[in-house]
Amino acid sequence: MTSPSHEDAELRQAFALFSETSEKLAGTYLELQGQVARLTSELAAANGELARRERLSALGEMAAQVAHQIRTPLSTALLYTGHLTRPQLADADRIRFAEKSRSRLLYLERLIQDMLLFVKGARLVSQAFPLHALIEEISHTLEPHATAKQVSLHLAETSADLMLTGDRQAIAGALINLLENALQASSSGDMVEMTVGGLGSPFAAFEISDSGAGIPEAARERLFEPFFTTRGEGSGLGLAIVRQVAEAHGGWVEWAPKDGGGSVFRLFLPFVGQGQVDV
């Protein structure tokens, strides 16, 4: 039979072992906590450095693209303007060079507006506004362009009480970008059409269609990337801005080939009381 003193000794030994093991576990836990904290800090620093490098890389790419996009139209405008100083220049040629110079300067203005809107990002002002007034404004802006290209421009007619929610200027810019792309893809005698669907749903569905050459298959995955363009001229920011505006309003944009040739872009934006605009 085990004596009480022997039992007490075994019990003390068990408590001592338990205490020692607990201290070791506590120490190990603290060491693990320290390692996790150090790894987290190192990972955060690495991610921060990676993010900083990515931002610098993006800024560098943007600066290079800006310089490339501005150089050619600016040089052309300077060339045409230089012709205007020739004393023996005929009036007809003077008018022609002045118009060409103005065209290049207007292109530069639009390029700068695109870049400012892209940099502005999702800092938009939310308000409710009538859809028919927006479409009328877009029509006045683009009708001269369509007439000059001899392209029929058909924009949807909507009821006066139909309202959208969001940044009117940004939404107008996004729709104008899509319609300008459609006009540029069109030839004389073609038609560009914009319809508005989605009645009874939270989102207005703007559908812009053209009968142009469509989008090459190799370019489709990159359509909405900043600075990507299939044209010889352009900032490559138009569709990136459209996507940025759509997402800032809680909407989205998509592309599909049109039956018989051409493109269909669909832009979804919230009616009054729906969606979320980041301000």
Model pLDDT for residues 3-23, shown as the tens digit of each residue:
556 555 655 665 555 555 555
What predicted TM-score, i.e. pTM, was given to this entire model? Answer: 0.60
H helix runs in the chain, sequence order: 4-83, 91-120, 131-149, 168-185, 238-248
Residue 244 reports pLDDT greater than 70: yes
- Summarised one tens digit per residue, pLDDT across range 48-63 is 667 666 656 665 666 6
**Same domain? 47 vs 113:** yes
- Summarised one tens digit per residue, pLDDT across range 169-180 is 888 888 988 998
Residue 210 reports pLDDT greater than 70: yes
Residue 202 reports pLDDT greater than 60: yes
Which pLDDT belongs to residue 32?
A: 55
Domain boundary among the residues 93, 120, 147 is at 120
Give the chain's domain count: 2
**Same domain? 133 vs 113:** no
Whether 18 is in a domain gets the answer: yes
**Same domain? 107 vs 138:** no
Whether 141 is in a domain gets the answer: yes
Q: SS3 of 257, please?
A: strand
Nearest to 127 by CA among 167, 71, 175: 167
Which pLDDT belongs to residue 161?
A: 78
Domain boundary among the residues 85, 120, 155 is at 120
Q: Give the domain CATH number at 165.
A: 3.30.565.10
Domain boundary among the residues 105, 120, 135 is at 120
Which pLDDT belongs to residue 266?
A: 94
Q: 269 and 275 in contact (C-beta within 8 Å)?
A: yes
Residue 211 carries which DSSP code? Answer: -
**Same domain? 144 vs 236:** yes
Boundaries of domain holding 9: 1-120
- Summarised one tens digit per residue, pLDDT across range 20-44 is 555 555 555 555 556 566 666 666 6
**Same domain? 198 vs 89:** no
Q: 277 and 271 in contact (C-beta within 8 Å)?
A: no
pLDDT class for 274, splitting at 50, 70, 90? very low
Q: What is the mean pLDDT of the chain?
A: 76
Tokens of 205: 């569905």
